[in-house]
Amino acid sequence: MKVAVGLGLMEFPFAGAGDYWRWVDLCEAGGVDSLWQTDRLVSRQPILECMTTMAALAGRTRRMRFGMNVVSLALRDPVLLAKQCATVDVLSEGRLLPAFGIGSPLGPEWQALDIDTKTRGRRTDESLEIIARLWREESVDFAGKYYRLAGASISPRPVQPDLPMWIGGSSDAAVRRTARYGTGWQGGAEGPVEAGRVVAAIKRAAAEAGRSIDEDHYGAAFPFFFGSASDSIVSGAMAAYAKRTNRDPARYFAIGDETAILDRIAEYVDVGVQKFILRPVGDGASVLAQTRQLIEKVLPQVGMKWPKAA
The whole-number pLDDT of residue 293 equals: 98
Read off the pLDDT of residues 94-134 as tens digits, 9 standing for 90 and up: 999 999 988 888 789 989 999 888 899 999 999 999 999 99
* Strand, helix or coil for residue 94: coil
Which pairing describes strands 184-186 and 218-226: parallel, antiparallel, or unpaired?
parallel
* Residue 225 pLDDT class (50, 70, 90 cuts): very high
- The answer on pLDDT for 240 being more than 90 is no
Read off the pLDDT of residues 35-58 as tens digits, 9 standing for 90 and up: 999 999 999 999 999 999 999 999
Percentage above 70 pLDDT, the chain: 99
Helix (H) or strand (E) holding 183: none
Among 94, 117, 97, residue whose Cα is nearest residue 53: 97
Q: Considering only 9-18, 67-76, 161-170, 173-182, which range has the smallest mean pLDDT? A: 161-170
- The answer on pLDDT for 24 being more than 70 is yes
* Residue 1 pLDDT class (50, 70, 90 cuts): low
Read off the pLDDT of residues 241-293 as tens digits, 9 standing for 90 and up: 888 888 888 889 999 999 999 999 999 999 999 999 999 999 889 999 999 99
The whole-number pLDDT of residue 309 equals: 58
**What is the distance between the alpha carbons of residues 118 and 167, in angstroms, rounded to a whole number?**
19
Which pairing describes strands 140-143 and 148-152: parallel, antiparallel, or unpaired?
antiparallel
Residue 180 burial by Cβ neighbours in a 10 Å radius (0-12, 13-18, 19+) = middle
**What is the distance between the alpha carbons of residues 269 and 154, in angstroms, rounded to a whole number?**
38
Among 188, 200, 202, 196, residue whose Cα is nearest residue 247: 188
* Residue 200 pLDDT class (50, 70, 90 cuts): very high
- The answer on pLDDT for 2 being more than 80 is yes
Characterize 81-108 residue by residue with b for buried, 16 or more Cβ atoms within 10 angstroms of its Cβ, and e for exposed: bbbbbbbbbbebeebbbbbbbbbbeebe
- Contact 175/122 with Cβ under 8 angstroms? no
Mean pLDDT of 213-240: 92
Radius of gyration for the chain, computed over Cα atoms and rounded to the nearest angstrom? 19
The whole-number pLDDT of residue 162 equals: 78
Hey, what domains does the chain have and what are their CATH numbers? 4-305 (3.20.20.30)
- The answer on pLDDT for 310 being more than 80 is no
Alpha-carbon dihedral sign for residues 123, 74, 165, 248: negative
Write the single-letter amino acid at 53. Answer: T
pTM: 0.93
Percentage above 90 pLDDT, the chain: 78
Number of H helices, E strands in the chain: 11, 13
